[in-house]
Amino acid sequence: MTIAGFIAALESSKYVLIFAGSYLEGTVVMLATGALWHARLVDFWPSYLALILGDILSDTMWYFIGRIGARPFLLRWGAYFNATPEVVEKIERRFNQYHTSILIVSKLTMGFGFAVATLMTAGLMRVPFSRYFMINLIGGFIWVFALMATGYYFGNILEAVPHQLQIIVGIGGFVLAIVALRYASKKLATMDW
């Protein structure tokens, strides 16, 4: 495959790649997509919807990992990091009391670094999935737009980068995404469900 053919393949699958990037690493991809929107390399609506779909499916995956696997994990390994049954019960009471606020704040701040833990805790604590889904969907619309707008606003930085370097970075990002997908699929295949 020639470089021109490779670039054409990337161009034809850009929204699928945006979706996959959002699923794997949302924040950075959302900012980058805003910069690509600024450079008129992607259209707003298909990008926005691909980002939201990737984000909400990723959040749903973490919820179900928490719902299905967190309790057995904590029962077996929790004592090693001070997650005793008493601590889990205390967290459960607080989380059940304030789960709506916790989920909203977590979504709009990406959890201050604890987003995955918060999403898994929602599953562990059996927050009703319909409530969880709606909170994350509404928060996702706001969060994705805010990050895309930030990327768009600072998108003029991309214009200062030489075109050849943009191509190299794009190809490198694509290769990195493929490696990450293969790694994730191998890890999922070897997990004991």
- Residue 193 binned pLDDT confidence (cut-offs 50, 70, 90): very low
State mean pLDDT over 134-150: 92
pLDDT of 172 above 50: yes
* pLDDT for 186: 66
Please compute the mean of the pLDDT values over residues 24-46 and round it to a whole number: 91
pLDDT confidence tier of residue 57, bands split at 50, 70 and 90: very high
Of 93, 80, 101, 27, the residue nearest 58 (C-alpha): 27
Q: What is the pLDDT of residue 84?
A: 79
Percent of the chain with pLDDT over 70: 82
Region 56-78: mean pLDDT is: 88
* Phi, psi of 2, deg, nearest 5: -80, 165
- Helix pair 26-38, 14-24: axis angle to 10 deg: 150
| Confidence (pLDDT) at 188 | 55
Q: Give yes or no for residue 106 having a pLDDT over 90.
A: no
Asked whether the predicted pLDDT for residue 63 surpasses 70, the reply is: yes
- Judged against a pLDDT cut of 80, whether residue 44 lies above it is answered with yes
Q: Which candidate, 136, 110, 112, places its Cα nearest to that of 123?
A: 136
Give whichever of 30-34, 153-157, 189-193 has the largest mean pLDDT.
30-34
pLDDT score recorded for residue 88: 79
Long-range contacts of the stretch 183-190 (C-beta < 8 A, 24+): 184/24
Check whether 93 has a pLDDT greater than 50: yes
CA of residue 182 relative to chain centroid, distance:
17
